[in-house]
């Protein structure tokens, strides 16, 4: 089991426990749910944490076309353990390529899962998550 910290801003984050053999697709669903977002947009995980994340050498995306020789790997095929190999591993989870919500995902701990634990689960919530679709302010 992995203990992850998913940060949207320095003081807005969620700590999540999840099995390491779950897919990155499942992790993406848990992350968006933890922040109160819907799960209706394209997304990917990228090893470049700043700048041009879409040109990351290692990336996992929703619509990866591995059969056609694409460089991105599939979030459906890759497990959390494959993408995050050790404690302190970090990746950028970019959700909704139009709005580009950028979540920093870091492995805080790896441990055996207790037999009676229900995961995935959010173990800590710090800060108020922003609205996914903020209502524009009318100047009239």
The secondary element (H helix, E strand) that includes residue 103 is: strand 101-110
How many structural domains is the chain composed of? 1
Question: Over the stretch 85-105, which tens digit does the pLDDT of each residue have?
Answer: 999 999 999 999 999 999 999
The pTM for the full model equals 0.90
In a domain, 131, yes or no: no
Q: Residue 70 and residue 124: Cα distance in Å, rounded?
A: 37
Q: How far apart are CA 69 and CA 72, in angstroms?
A: 9
Sequential pLDDT tens for the chain (140 residues): 999 999 998 899 999 999 999 999 999 999 999 999 999 999 999 999 999 999 999 999 998 765 444 678 999 999 999 999 999 999 999 999 999 999 999 999 998 877 667 889 999 999 999 999 887 776 65
Q: Does residue 91 belong to any structural domain of this protein?
A: yes
Considering the domain boundaries, does residue 136 fall inside one? no
Look at residue 135 and tell me if it is in a domain.
no
Domain residues for the domain of 38 are: 2-126
């Amino acid at each position: 089991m992995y203990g992850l910290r998913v940060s949207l801003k320095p003081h807005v984050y969620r700590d999540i426990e999840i099995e390491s053999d779950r897919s990155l697709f499942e992790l993406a669903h848990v992350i968006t749910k933890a922040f109160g977002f819907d799960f209706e947009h394209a997304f990917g995980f990228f090893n470049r944490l700043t700048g041009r994340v879409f040109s990351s050498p290692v990336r996992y995306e929703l619509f990866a076309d591995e059969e056609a020789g694409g460089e991105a790997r599939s979030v459906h095929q890759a497990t959390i353990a494959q993408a995050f190999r050790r404690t302190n591993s970090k990746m950028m989870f970019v959700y909704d390529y139009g709005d580009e919500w950028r979540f920093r995902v870091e492995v805080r701990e790896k441990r055996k899962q207790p037999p009676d634990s229900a995961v995935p689960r959010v173990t800590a919530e710090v800060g108020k998550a922003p609205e996914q679709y903020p209502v524009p302010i009318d100047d009239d």
